[in-house]
Amino acid sequence: MSQPPLGPLLFARYAYPPNELGYCGPPDPASLLEASEGLDVARLYQLATKFSGAWPYLELIADRNGITDPLDARVVEAYWVGNALLEQVPVSALASSLRDRFGGSAGHRFGAMASAVPLGGVCSHSLHVFAVYPWLGLLRSGIDGPSLTVLDRCRIRWGRVESVTGDHVTVRNRVLVFQKSQLVLGPERSEVARRSIDGIGLAPDVEVDDIVSLHWDWVCDRLSPEGLASLKGCTAVNLAAVNGLPVSGMAGACES
């Protein structure tokens, strides 16, 4: 059997964790897992378009780089982790895309959300989490609830593998903390993440001391030194962008 392109599988690795929790994507999370396990590329493409939060970003990144396939591996990596393709997405294009998608539903709050872009926000998943989701705005309004946990778990995190036991991996990584209206990276902690269910999973095999990416409570991929630097960089600039706003964007959108 010929191997499918990496892009659709890479997308599934990052998209499955919130889909499993019912936060985004098609209503049957098992379909994404099954399509990946069965190397059903056509099905993976069909399912990817159902992620109404991520898909327009993929289309925008691809278009601005002259790439016809939104699931090209370079495009998928750019959105979830970050790479040089993001440099070709100008502020005007990203702001226009956000306006088209959220201007109506966000109302007067859209201005604050869009303001994160000229402050340095780049077209990656962390911008969507920090600026489009309402969670930071809720924190700044004094409403705690699950806000900080969602912000931390929904962003793409990175960490070092400490141990591997069956379907689970212990990873050392830094958590988000909320200090004086700012989101910042706090201390390290060890957490147990999943890499498979009964041996069936999406992520590649990992070993102790590997640097991996995580989304919610799943390991998504091994990170190269370049990938780690890009993920750290995108996270830093998007945190700086929303921290530079007097009020966070609260679009009320709940897409991933």
Which pLDDT belongs to residue 9? 94
Contacts 24+ apart (CB under 8 A), 105-109: 105/251, 105/252, 105/253, 106/249, 106/250, 106/251, 106/252, 106/253, 109/137, 109/249, 109/250, 109/251, 109/252
Pairing of strands 211-215, 182-194: unpaired
Q: Judge whether residue 184 has pLDDT over 60.
A: yes
Place 3 in a pLDDT band, splitting at 50, 70 and 90. low
Indicate the pLDDT class of residue 73, thresholds 50, 70 and 90.
very high
Q: Please report the pLDDT score of residue 110 as a whole number.
A: 54
- Please check the confidence at residue 118 and state whether its pLDDT lies above 60: yes
Find the mean pLDDT for residues 151-178: 96
Question: Phi and psi of 104, rounded to 5°?
Answer: -70, -45
Q: What is the mean pLDDT of residues 19-45?
A: 90
| pLDDT band, residue 256 (cuts 50/70/90) | very low
pLDDT at 66 over 70: yes
Query: Does the pLDDT value for residue 18 go beyond 80?
Result: yes
**Whether residue 249 has pLDDT greater than 80:** no
Please give the pLDDT value at position 254: 36
pLDDT confidence band for 109 (50 / 70 / 90): low
Average pLDDT over residues 112-126: 79
pLDDT at 1: 38
As given in the structure block, the two tokens for residue 153 are 């778990």
Torsion of CA 132, 243, 19, 196, to 10 degrees: 160
Average pLDDT, the chain: 88
> CB atoms < 10 A from the CB of 96, how many?
15
How confident is the model over 198-208, as a mean pLDDT? 87
pLDDT above 70: percentage of residues in the chain: 89
Residues 92, 88: Cα–Cα separation, whole Å: 11
What six digits make up the tokens of 197?
């269910």
Tens digits of per-residue pLDDT, 139-156? 888 887 789 999 999 999
Question: Cα(11)–Cα(75) distance, rounded to whole angstroms?
Answer: 10
**Does residue 247 carry a pLDDT above 60?**
no
